[in-house]
């Protein structure tokens, strides 16, 4: 991993935050980490994809870079991309023009934001994030991938309109377009991450179905602490002073 500069945080913390703010704070503020089957499988899968150090090779879709280090001064994020395809922007090079350029409207908007006009660069980066399981019901994986794209845009000055999540168990690639909604959510999540960590306070537990598979469940004790908190609030309510008669 790249060294963290000042208040820079890892891109993967965005995924953690959207999964559970308390879990993110336990990881980042209290330095609590506990492995389980899912975290171990995820670590092993990522190790197979990019390893260390950064590696470059030539693939069917163009140049491929594994373990590419990422950084955004604007979002104060750093990370490592599992894999980035640099797809050549030559008509007919890939057999499918839309696969190369992604969503045309998103590309043009991104080029305008980056100040690159509508000129086509030689290559278009296409980040791919590897995930061990099937697609989740929430979009934290998409936000993590979008943050990688925003880093690439800032680093290279090139619009990155799309990428993909590769689900290892099903061996299927799911394409993700970085539209305005997803970009906005990613930037808002980055701001929330920095706010949470700057406050230095671990949020109280909120019991959700996703707690079942969390590696920190035994240490977090969401059910017990949530019940204790409710009992405390009830006791406090009994002693609220009313107005004098």
Residue 13 lies in a domain: yes
22 or 37, which is more confident: 22
Whether residues 151 and 221 share a domain: the answer is: no
CB 76 within 8 A of CB 192: no
Give the residue-averaged pLDDT of 165-187. Answer: 94
Give the residue-averaged pLDDT of 159-175. Answer: 93
- The residue behind tokens 């949530």 is 226
Residue 3 lies in a domain: no
pLDDT confidence of residue 228? 53
Q: Please state, in angstroms and rounded to a whole number, the distance separating the CA atoms of residues 55 and 178.
A: 25
pLDDT exceeds 60 at position 234: no
41 or 197, which is more confident: 197
Give the residue-averaged pLDDT of 20-37. Answer: 83
Quote the mean pLDDT of the chain: 79
Residue 81 lies in a domain: yes
pLDDT confidence of residue 5? 64
Assign 46 a pLDDT band (cuts: 50, 70, 90).
low
Helix, strand, or coil (residue 2): coil
Residue 179 lies in a domain: yes
Give the residue-averaged pLDDT of 51-69. Answer: 82
Measured in whole angstroms, the distance separating CA 36 from the mean position of its chain's CA atoms is 20
DSSP state of 3: P
User: 165 has which bridge partners?
Assistant: 129, 174
In the chain, the number of structural domains is 2
Whether residues 128 and 187 share a domain: the answer is: yes
> What are 47-59's pLDDT values in tens digits?
555 556 677 887 7
Residue 141 lies in a domain: yes
In this structure, what token pair is assigned to residue 58?
């030539």
Q: Quote the domain boundaries for residue 143.
A: 9-203
pLDDT confidence of residue 231? 43
* This prediction's pTM: 0.74
pLDDT confidence of residue 223? 63
Half-sphere exposure of 191 (CA within 13 A, CB side): 6
Residue 5: CB atoms within 10 Å: 10
CB 146 within 8 A of CB 184: no
Whether residues 76 and 53 share a domain: the answer is: yes
DSSP state of 200: T
pLDDT exceeds 90 at position 9: yes
pLDDT exceeds 50 at position 96: no
Opening angle at CA 132, ends 134 and 25, nearest 5: 100
Q: Please state, in angstroms and rounded to a whole number, the distance separating the CA atoms of residues 175 and 129.
A: 10
pLDDT exceeds 50 at position 82: yes
pLDDT confidence of residue 50? 56
Q: Please state, in angstroms and rounded to a whole number, the distance separating the CA atoms of residues 242 and 153.
A: 58
Domain CATH number, residue 46 = 3.90.320
CB 168 within 8 A of CB 207: no
Residue 97 lies in a domain: yes
Whether residues 132 and 168 share a domain: the answer is: yes
Residue 203: CB atoms within 10 Å: 14
């Amino acid at each position: 991993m790249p060294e963290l500069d000042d208040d820079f945080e890892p891109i993967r913390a965005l995924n953690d935050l959207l999964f559970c703010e308390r879990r993110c704070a336990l990881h980042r503020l209290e330095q609590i980490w506990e492995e389980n089957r899912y975290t171990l499988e995820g670590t092993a899968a990522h190790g197979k994809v990019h390893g260390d150090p950064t590696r470059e090779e030539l693939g069917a879709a163009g140049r491929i870079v594994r373990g590419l280090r990422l950084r955004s001064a604007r979002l104060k994020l750093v990370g490592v991309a599992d894999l980035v395809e640099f797809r050549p922007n030559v008509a007919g090079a890939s057999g499918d023009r839309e696969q190369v350029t992604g969503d045309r409207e998103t590309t043009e908007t991104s080029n305008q934001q980056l100040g690159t006009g509508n000129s086509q660069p030689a290559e278009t980066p296409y980040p791919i994030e590897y995930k061990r399981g099937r697609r989740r019901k929430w979009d934290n994986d998409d936000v993590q991938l979008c943050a990688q794209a925003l880093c690439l845009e800032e680093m290279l000055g090139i619009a990155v309109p799309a990428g993909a999540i590769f689900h290892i168990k099903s061996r299927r690639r799911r394409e993700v377009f970085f539209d305005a909604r997803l970009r906005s959510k990613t930037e808002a999540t980055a701001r929330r991450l920095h706010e949470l960590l700057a406050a230095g306070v671990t949020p109280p537990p909120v019991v959700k179905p996703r707690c079942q598979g969390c590696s920190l469940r035994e240490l977090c004790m969401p059910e017990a602490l949530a019940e204790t908190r409710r009992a405390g609030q009830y006791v406090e309510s009994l002693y609220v002073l009313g107005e004098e008669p």
